[in-house]
Structure 1
Amino acid sequence: MHGGDPNTGEVMARLYHDGRFVAESRVPARFPVEGGAIDVRTSEAGMRRCAFVADDGTEHQLVPDPASAEGRRMRFAREHPGASRAIGGVSIVFLIIGVGLNLLQITEPISRIPPIADTLGTFESPVILPLWLNIALGLVAALGAVERALRMRYHWLLDSGAGT
């Protein structure tokens, strides 16, 4: 499901029951099942939501396939809870640092656009990072986003805002 079709770019969700293929839909997907529906959404980094929504509105997060990346991450969290929390905390810290530094650095060139500069003035970023450090922070932030996607955790500010 992750990454989408190489030709069309469409991300598809597939529903299996007892190991047999049942249905397929573009994400966001909602598969009607007995007693409710299965709701599937992705973000740019991976799984955003996969839950059973009962007819009465109650929701239950579904357990991923143990062989999937999400299933392996869940097993790691179950077997090593302390290490899992530490990795999760580090991923959040790097995402916040990455978002903060990117906002500072992107504000400077945007503030130099003549109508914005005339109205609000220009902004000079207090942080100027070398290219190699920008690339490294970008990669670490992307790894943090992937780690959060594997845990099926999503926050609109930290994780990719353009998720489906």
Structure 2
Amino acid sequence: MFSDGRRRRAARKVKPGAGHPLPRFRWWQPFSRALLHLHLDGEGGQLHTWSVDVKLWGDSNGEVLAHLYRDGHHHASSKLPAAFPVPGGTVEVAASGYGLRRCHYVADDGTERQLVPDPASAEGRRARLERDHPAADQALGAVSLAVLLVALVLGLPQIAEEITRIPPVAEHVGTFTSPIQLPAWLNVGLFMAALLASTERALRLRYHWLLDGGLFEGET
């Protein structure tokens, strides 16, 4: 959940929508676009569908925006992280370097729930695996976590060594020699495995600042 200050800052970035229809989800978009939905009662008890659409690789200007649609029509947009006011609460949206890290409805009473991924999206297909094959889902999640833990243990000492080789850093804190020295091909393989593991976790909107790149992105 966003802090009160972060939510206020995010809310100031919200811009009114243009009213255009929600674009259809295309088959080639699973890893470049996230689309999630929320059903809420509006005034008079009428049910409305709120949809959050994010182009994960950015728009034509390279800027990643979240777009909010109400009943299939563009209602608002915002830079990330975003906090969209909706009936009874706020929709909070945030991304990491691997996909969405958060897309939740936070009610005014503090309760929250994740929006439901569109079935055509990669997040929706991952959710279907979780629903239809819980054993495979748990195994895949455990493998992703294990890969990231191994990458962290083996990679951080080597990264620390490289950082302390930078002259200004070496002058102030000295140099550090990593006790772990892996060949280049193994480091590349470890990096690729960690990339896949964090992407898999992003499809489930799982995020930890230490495991999923937040340490290097300046986020927690």
Which of 159, 162, 175 is matched with 1:106 structurally? 159
1:122–1:160 distance in 2 versus 1, CA, 3 Å:
closer
Q: Which has the higher strand share?
A: 2
- Could you report, residue by residue, the CA deviation over 1:59-112 in whole angstroms, capped at 9, with x for unpaired residues? 111111111111111111111111111111111111111122221112223344
Which of 110, 120, 130 is matched with 1:77 structurally? 130
After TM superposition, the structure 1 = structure 2 runs for residues 144-159 of structure 1, keeping only pairs within 5 Å, are 144-159=197-212
Choose 87-96 or 7-16, whichever is displaced more: 7-16
Partner residue, 2:191: 138
After TM superposition, the structure 1 = structure 2 runs for residues 1-164 of structure 1, keeping only pairs within 5 Å, are 1-5=55-59, 7-113=60-166, 122-161=175-214, 162=217
Partner secondary structure for residue 8 of structure 1 = coil
Letter matched to residue 13 of structure 1:
A
Any stretches of 5+ residues in structure 2 without a counterpart? 1-54
Runs of 4+ in 1 over 4 A off after TM superposition: 112-121
Provide the TM-score with structure 1 as the length reference.
0.88
- Could you report, residue by residue, the CA deviation over 1:119-138 in whole angstroms, capped at 9, with x for unpaired residues? 76543222221111111110
1:63–1:132 distance in 2 versus 1, CA, 3 Å:
same
Bigger relative CO (Cα 8 Å, ≥ 6 apart): 1
Provide the TM-score with structure 2 as the length reference.
0.67
Identity %: 57
Letter matched to residue 209 of structure 2:
W
Letter matched to residue 84 of structure 1:
D
1:66–1:105 distance in 2 versus 1, CA, 3 Å:
same
Q: CA RMSD of the aligned region, Å? A: 2.1
